Amino acid sequence: MGLHKLRLAAAVPVTFSSRLFLKPFTNTLTLGLFSRHLQPRNKPLLVRAFSASAAVQDIPATQTSDSSVAARPLWKAAIDFKWIRDNKEAVEINIRNRNSNANLEAVLQLYENMVNLQKEVERLREERNNVAKKMKGKLEPSERERLVEEGKNLKESLVTLEEDLVKLKDELQHVAQSIPNMTHPDVPVGGEDSSAIRQEVGSPREFSFPIKDHLQLGKDLDLIDFDSAAEVSGSKFFYLKNEAVLLEMALLNWTLSQVMKKGYTPLTTPEIVRSSIVEKCGFQPRGDNTQVYSIDGTDQCLIGTAEIPVGGIHMDSILLESALPLKYIAFSHCFRTEAGAAGAATKGLYRVHQFSKAEMFVICQPEDSESFHQELIQIEEDLFTSLGLHFKTLDMATADLGAPAYRKFDIEAWMPGLGRFGEISSASNCTDYQSRRLGIRYRPSEPPQTGPKKGKANLPATKFVHTLNATACAVPRMMVCLLENYQQEDGSVVIPEPLRPFMGGIELIKPKHK
């Protein structure tokens, strides 16, 4: 759809700002019109980790230091610059609280420059129109010649300024897209340690025998094969085998049936998407440290979560208010490079390149997003309680939020074999962060409050929807929990009751004897 071509569009030339000599808009012009003069950008913009815990990883500097060659953005977020300008202090504090590398100063500077340049362009257009108007009447030849010359000059200036305006807008987009969503006032300020416990369910099971971790159980019960996968695919890939295959299917089947009862529409999704969709959802598909696998020779990549293709379904559309809320439960395979992930937290099934996941996604009116956030976290808690897990729900602290999230609840479950709590789900309210990028609006059904304006007389103005996403079942981490928590002294593993009807009645995974 033409996207591929644009990707290679001309870079902003280094000598560019020298052309903007016409009018020193502000005293800061000496700093340059473009943000690259304000501060060298050596961190990737708009980085969002798939996993909560990865958000506090030290993000290595990528080689974007040559910031003058930023390609034209393929799409534009409908960022509310006026709001940002009018709420400068709040935005600044938010950026700081969230440990974001967004450059608000540069955004405001570029925005001011853009507004001024836009005014200048409008002024010149008016002047040109005046000249054109004057030329319609009878004129002395010398006067006509003067006007022709003036018109010509104006046109040339205009062409130059309009080009500059386009580039300035592109630059503004590029810099402003790194500004994170605002934060719910109840979210604790600080790093991971500051996250507040919303709820704690159950208690760690006490074992009267030496326990195994899921890797050992997977090997002993012939359920998981990492070794063959390392040869065939690479490390952190795996085959599921025997009852583990049935357990995956049961988990997904049961989860879907439970969540559908709450009015969620089941989906399966494409797992290859255009990279622009990945960006619009707030992920970074490129760069050395990307979590995203790209397809060779195309502008497509593999999804890291079904949130991406589901977010894309209603892209660039105006929904009827009566169609809201839209609630989906989507099953997909997910693919992640896990670049930079290393250490103990990566053992076995805990961190893998490919896995199955059922993801909930809600599109709603702004005033409803908080209550849907509660609904989502409640569904998660109910699911994990039904499976008998010991877990705690965390209201994640500011520094632990990805750029799109206004608020995020993570659930961490007890994994006795690993001897720690591990994240098994994440529920985020993204308010209008994604919808402003994906272009998802709705038209309120009530008549507009203000009097009728000219033009679209009685149609109320469109608004951006809010989007929310939440893990219903990330299979490998659920398997870690189930295998490690339900192991028995004889090496077998008990299947939790809710899953049994979805596994042909199997109650126990027993050691195989050859």
For the annotated binding site, the residues are 305-307, 336-338, 352, 359, 423-426, 471
- Residue 187 tokens read as 């979210």
Host H or E run for residue 301: strand 300-302
359: number of Cβ within 10 Å: 26
Dist CA 417 CA 401 (whole Å): 28
Contact with its own copies (CB under 8 A): which of 58, 186, 206, 231?
A: 231
Give min distance, CB of 300 to its own copies, in A. Answer: 7
Please, are residues 396 and 195 in contact by the beta-carbon 8 Å criterion? yes
Torsion sign over Cα 371, 377, 379, 382: negative
Amino acid residing at 191: G
Torsion sign over Cα 486, 492, 494, 500: positive
Give min distance, CB of 334 to its own copies, in A. Answer: 11
Contact with its own copies (CB under 8 A): which of 353, 373, 436, 437?
A: 353
362 binding its own copies? (CB under 8 A): no
What residues between 303 and 322 interact with its own copies by CB under 8 A?
A: 309, 312-316
324 binding its own copies? (CB under 8 A): no
Nearest C-alpha neighbor of 305 from the set 291, 295, 318, 294: 291
Nearest C-alpha neighbor of 60 from the set 48, 44, 76: 44
Contact with its own copies (CB under 8 A): which of 277, 424, 474, 482?
A: 277
Dist CA 176 CA 113 (whole Å): 14
Give min distance, CB of 331 to its own copies, in A. Answer: 7
293 binding its own copies? (CB under 8 A): yes
Contact with its own copies (CB under 8 A): which of 159, 232, 461, 508?
A: 232
Dist CA 226 CA 236 (whole Å): 7
295 binding its own copies? (CB under 8 A): yes
Torsion sign over Cα 339, 344, 346, 347: positive
Give min distance, CB of 129 to its own copies, in A. Answer: 39
Terminal CA-CA length for the chain: 56
When the beta carbons of 99 and 294 are compared against its own copies, the nearer one is: 294
When the beta carbons of 140 and 231 are compared against its own copies, the nearer one is: 231
Contact with its own copies (CB under 8 A): which of 81, 111, 283, 335?
A: 335
Contact with its own copies (CB under 8 A): which of 58, 206, 296, 490?
A: 296
Dist CA 390 CA 201 (whole Å): 6
| Ordered DSSP codes for 152-203 | HHHHHHHHHHHHHHHHHHHHHHHHHTTPPPP--TTSPPSSGGGPEEEEEES-
Site track for its own copies across 431-450, x = CB under 8 A? --------------------
60 binding its own copies? (CB under 8 A): no
Total of chain residues touching its own copies, rule CB under 8 A: 53
When the beta carbons of 105 and 225 are compared against its own copies, the nearer one is: 225
Q: Enumerate the β-bridge partners of residue 200.
A: 392
326 binding its own copies? (CB under 8 A): no
Contact with its own copies (CB under 8 A): which of 249, 324, 345, 494?
A: 249
What residues between 257 and 276 interact with its own copies by CB under 8 A?
A: 257, 265-274
What residues between 381 and 400 interact with its own copies by CB under 8 A?
A: none
- Residue 83 tokens read as 């709001």
Site track for its own copies across 210-229, x = CB under 8 A? ---------------x--xx
Contact with its own copies (CB under 8 A): which of 246, 324, 345, 506?
A: 246
Dist CA 270 CA 97 (whole Å): 36
Give min distance, CB of 289 to its own copies, in A. Answer: 13
Q: What are phi and psi of 482, to 5 degrees?
A: -65, -45
Contact with its own copies (CB under 8 A): which of 213, 248, 395, 423?
A: 248
Contact with its own copies (CB under 8 A): which of 34, 81, 283, 331?
A: 331
233 binding its own copies? (CB under 8 A): yes
Torsion sign over Cα 166, 168, 172, 175: positive
Which positions are catalytic?
Answer: 336, 351, 423, 426, 477
Give min distance, CB of 329 to its own copies, in A. Answer: 9
For the annotated binding site for L-serine, the residues are 305-307, 359, 471
Dist CA 372 CA 364 (whole Å): 8
Give min distance, CB of 77 to its own copies, in A. Answer: 17
Torsion sign over Cα 329, 337, 420, 493: positive
When the beta carbons of 293 and 421 are compared against its own copies, the nearer one is: 293
340 binding its own copies? (CB under 8 A): no
Measured CA distances, 276 to 73, 284, 299, 438, 465 (Å):
10, 9, 8, 10, 20
346 binding its own copies? (CB under 8 A): no
Q: Exposure of 87 by Cβ count < 10 A (0-12 exposed, 13-18 middle, 19+ buried)? A: middle
When the beta carbons of 248 and 484 are compared against its own copies, the nearer one is: 248
256 binding its own copies? (CB under 8 A): yes
Contact with its own copies (CB under 8 A): which of 300, 393, 426, 467?
A: 300
Interface with its own copies by CB under 8 A: which residues?
225, 228-229, 231-234, 237-242, 244-246, 248-249, 252-253, 256-257, 265-274, 277, 293-297, 300, 302, 309, 312-316, 331, 333, 335, 353-354, 356, 504
